[in-house]
Amino acid sequence: MRKYALPGNERNLTMQLVYGVLRNRQYLDRILQLLSKTPLAKIDPFIHQALVVGLYQLFFLRRIPQSAAVHEMVECCKVGGIPRRLEGFVNGILRQSIRQKEPLATQAALGENGEPLVNHPEWLVAGWCKHFGHDEALRICAANNREPVLVLRANVAKIIRDDFRKVLEGAGIANHPGAYAVEAVVLPEYQGAIPAIPGYAEGLFQVQDEAAQMATGLLGPFRRGGRYLDGCAGLGGKTSHLLQFAASHALKIHAVEPEPYRLQKLRENLDRCGTACAPVIHAMSLQQFTLADLPPFDGILIDAPCSGTGVTGRHPDIRWNRRPEDLLRYQQEQLNILHHSAGLLAPGGILVYATCSLEPEENQEVIKAFLADHPALQLTDCTMQLPEAARRFIVDGCFAPRPDATIDGFFAARMQRR
C-alpha cells in the first residue's frame, strides 16, 4: 500500500473530518436517514461515507463554504469510480440538507424512539448507566463527543514546567498548567503536528494525558537504588516518566515490550526524552521475561492491554470497534499478566495495575479476582501518592477518574506485597 504525506493544514483537516464523523456518527446517520428514501443498509459504503463526511462539513464546520463541501464530495465519487447516477444522488442529498438545515439539526438530535442520540453504541451506554447512573452516563458521552485538548508532560529531568511553558509562549503557543498532574501543560488551541512543538527533538516533553501522568507516581515512595519494572512499556510514556524519578533516586529501570512496532517507538521516545539513567529494554513478553533469572523488583507498573473505553473521546473509533464479549477476553489477559508480574515483586514491593478502561470487568473485578488468588498482596489506598487536586478521583482506594474536559477515563490500583 502506498502512503501519501499530507501537508500540515490538509492533515489537520483530514483528521478533523475523520474524528468528527466518528464522534457524531449516529447523528449524521440520522440526518441521512431523514433525507434518503433508500435505507442506510442499502446505500453503497463508499457513498455512505462520502455523504456523512459532507454532512459533517455542512453541519459542524463553518469555515468551509457549503458549495465547496458539496463539490468536493461529488468529486470524491468521481475519483472513486462511482456511477454517474450516484454522483447525482450525493449531490441531491447534500443540497437538500442545506435547504432543510435548521429543522434537520433539531429533528436529528433524537433517535427513532424519541430518545436523545448520544453517539455511542447502546451496549456501552447501558453498562455506564448500570455502573454510574443515567445522568453520569450521559455526561460521559457528552465529554467524549467534545474535541479533546492536547496535554503534554514536561520532562523535568531536562526542564522545569514553568521554563517549558516560557518556551511555548515564546513560540506563540497558548498554554496553561494542568489541573491535576504537577508536570502537565495543556495546549488548548494547538492543532499542528507534535514534532513541530518547540522542544520536541530535545526531549523536553512527552504527549501524555494527566491521568496517565499520575499513574507512575503511584509506585512511590521510591526506594533509593531500587529496581523498577515497566511490564507493558508500549510506546514508552510511562517508562520515560520513570526515568525522571531514576535520576533523583538512583533507580534501575527495566522495560518489557514484545511487539516490534511499539518496541521501535519505545526506543525512539527514550532516545529523545532519555536521561543519563538508561533503562534496560527487554524485547519479549512479560510471560517470557518471568523465566529470566533476575532479582525481584521493588516496584512494577502494569499498564495493561484493555478495551480503552476511557479514552474513546481521544480515539473515537474505539467506541464502534469494541464488542461486549471483548471485556471478558481482556480480563483473562489482564489476570494472566498480573499473575506473572506477582512473582517478580520483592517483599514490601509495590505493584500498580492500570488501564484506560471504565469497565468494572477490567478494573475492580480484575483486582478482586487477582487478590483472591494472591493473598500475599493487599490493596493499599493511593491517596498520599496523588496530588491533592486529584484525590477527588479516588474510589474505594483506587484512582478512577472518568472522562471530562481536562482528563481521560482511567483506573489504577496500588497493591503491596505483605
Beta 297-303 vs 227-230: how paired, if at all? parallel
Place of cell 449531490: 91
Q: Contact 186/197 with Cβ under 8 angstroms?
A: no
DSSP 385: G
Task: Please state the length of the chain.
Answer: 418
Helix (H, G, I), strand (E, B) or coil at 353: strand
Residue of 232, 356, 382, 398 marked catalytic = 356
Cα(185)–Cα(164) distance, integer angstroms: 9
Cα 384 to Cα 393: distance, rounded to the nearest angstrom: 13
Cα pseudo-dihedral 11, 17, 18, 22, rounded to 10: 150
Residue 68 parent element (H or E):
helix 66-79
**Catalytic site residue 277?**
no
Which one-letter amino acid corresponds to residue 295? P
User: How far lies 174's CA from each of 26, 189, 214, 279, in Å?
Assistant: 33, 7, 23, 34
DSSP 42: G
Judge contact between 58 and 50, C-beta under 8 A: no
Query: Rounded to whole angstroms, how far apart are CA atoms 112 and 337?
Result: 44
Locus of grid cell 433525507: 35
**How much is the CA Rg of the chain, to the nearest whole Å?**
24
Question: Which residue, 370, 385, 380, is CA-closest to 413?
Answer: 380
CA 81 vs. chain centroid, Å, equals: 36
Pairing of strands 297-303, 345-355: parallel
The catalytic residues are 356
